[in-house]
Amino acid sequence: MTSILTPTPANLTTAAEALLRSRVVAIPTETVYGLAGVAFDEVALATIFTVKERPTFDPLIVHVPTPPGDADVHLAELGLLDPSLLGPKARERLNTLAKAYWPGPLTLVVPRGPRVPDLVTSGLDTVAIRCPGHPVAQELLATVKRPLAAPSANRFGRISPTTAAHVLEELGGRIDIILDGGPAHVGIESTVVSVTDPPQILRPGSISKESLETTLSESLAIAKPNATLKPQASPGMLERHYAPGKRFVRLPAPTSSLTDEAVQRLQTLVEGVEGPIALICVLGDARAAATHLRELTGRDVLAHSLSPSGDPNEAARNLFRTLRLLDSTGAALLVAEPLPAATGVLLAIVDRLSRATVPL
Ligand code: AMP
Ligand code: MG
């Protein structure tokens, strides 16, 4: 039986005791809900992979409390970081970024320390570390007094959960405890940055490339998503991910300016299914696009904008919730308007949407 627990001191103690008995617990963070286990406990780590049905080549992020001083010293003391493999530039990047953004939605990839099990890193010689900003995650870390490995609390390849109810949908019956910290405030996974040379963004998130570059006074490359399911330099960045159960296509142009050929492809797709179409727009009013789509297909169209007022942070917060909602409606086909040219948090939204969709 899976219980959703409010984060009272007594329930936090119950969750911490479960973690210390090698159990896994779903926890709120400001990005998405995580499925946590003690990072040094191989039984707990193996359980995370089984519960999520996650392939072991996809490494986990280790969550730590806010470092009291320089991050490199703290992480080395915990046995998470090997400081001898951190060059002076990388050390400076780690400490600067940790100081600027922790606690918060930024994951830093560093040379792996001696206490980190292979299961955490998928055998890589680096480890990903984050200090979550959600007060419940921080309180739990303080109670357990161990780093917690926590990937998103969804089955592999599916939509990340941003509420306790989503976790229940994903993992109900498979875990005992979900700590309920309310809806995730950021709503999209952390930005992942490798601090060793050359520094790069391995996964875009709500902390933008522009902001990181300003903080570091240097430019960052963005790693390309991986096309295939095999071990590689930036595991987990798979081309197909975050996917709803239904067919989800992205349009090559706005509904008002599709070529005849694209309209033909769309109509063929629609003929193959029954029922209404769900349309998702990232920013702005979705109604005009819905009207066009209705005219082109002759089907009812349920239109959803991630932020009708055009606020990218609101769009990030609504992304996974909306995908989950559309997946559960009667819509036979999901369609995304073309993704905007992206900077800032929009880059992360476009990244997730392009991996949740296939081109028309
Ligand atoms: P999630 O399961 O969404 O919490 O994300 C974990 C992701 O962090 C992985 O799928 C990778 O993209 C990234 N990650 C974790 N560890 C590493 C690492 N050592 N090197 C590169 N990327 C990593
Ligand atoms: Mg995930």
Residues 160-182 have pLDDT tens digits of 999 999 999 999 999 999 999 99
The pairing of beta strand 191-194 with beta strand 106-111: parallel
The Cα 135–Cα 141 span in angstroms is 10
pLDDT of 232 reads 44
Query: What are the strands, taking DSSP E only, across the chain?
Result: 3-5, 25-27, 34-38, 61-63, 106-111, 126-130, 148-149, 177-179, 191-194, 200-203, 221-222, 248-250, 277-283, 301-307, 333-336, 358-359
Share of the chain above pLDDT 70, in %: 95
DSSP state of 324: H
Q: Which of 119, 142, 100 is nearest to 12 (CA)?
A: 142
pLDDT of residue 339: 79
Task: Tell me if 352 sits within 8 A of 319, measured CB to CB.
Answer: yes
Which of ligand 1's atoms lies nearest the C-alpha of 127? Answer: 19
∠ CA 303-304-305, rounded to 5°: 130
pTM, full prediction: 0.93
Count CA atoms closer than 13 A to 31's CA, side-chain side. Answer: 29
* Pocket test residue of 58, 108, 160 for ligand 1, highest count of atoms within 8 A of CB: 58
331: exposed, middle or buried (C-beta count within 10 Å: 0-12, 13-18, 19+)? buried
31 lines ligand 1 (CB under 6 A): no
Of ligand 1's listed atoms, the one at least distance from the Cα of 112 is: 19
Tell me, what's the pLDDT at 228? Answer: 41
Computed on alpha carbons and rounded to an integer, the radius of gyration of the chain in Å comes to 21
**Rounded to the nearest 5°, which phi and psi values hold at 291?**
-60, -45
Question: Distance from the CA of 3 to the center of ligand 1, in angstroms?
Answer: 28
In the chain, where are the structural domains located?
Answer: 3-222, 248-359
Residue 128 CB–ligand 1 contact under 6 Å: yes
Separation between Cα atoms, residue 131 and residue 235, nearest integer Å = 21
d(CA 310, CA 312): 6
**Which pLDDT belongs to residue 227?**
47
Q: Which residues of 277-303 are buried (b: 16+ CB within 10 A; e: fewer)?
A: bbbbbbbbebeebbebbbebbebebbb
Question: 216 vs 162, 190, 344, CA distance in Å?
Answer: 30, 18, 16
> What is the structure's pLDDT at 171?
98
Phi/psi for 241 (5° steps) reads -165, 170
Neighbours of 323 (CB within 10 A): 28
CA of 265 to the centre of ligand 1 (A): 36
Best CATH choice for the domain 3-222 from the list 3.40.50.720, 3.90.870.10, 3.40.50.300, 3.40.50.150: 3.90.870.10
Q: What is the CATH number of domain 248-359?
A: 3.40.50
Å from CA of 274 to ligand 1 middle? 38
Q: Which of 125, 106, 80 is nearest to 192 (CA)?
A: 106
* Distance in Å, CA 59 to ligand 2 centroid: 10
Q: Which atom of ligand 1 is nearest to the CA of 54?
A: 2
Q: Residues in the chain with pLDDT < 70?
A: 225-240
pLDDT tens-digit readout, 302-349: 999 999 999 999 999 999 999 999 888 889 899 999 877 778 899 999
Q: Give just the sign of the alpha carbon dihedral 135, 138, 144, 149.
A: positive
Place of tokens 């509904």: 255
Distance (Å) of CA 304 to CA 92, 228, 278, 307, 330: 43, 31, 8, 9, 14
Residue 32's Cα: distance from chain center in Å? 6
pLDDT computed for residue 45 by the predictor: 98
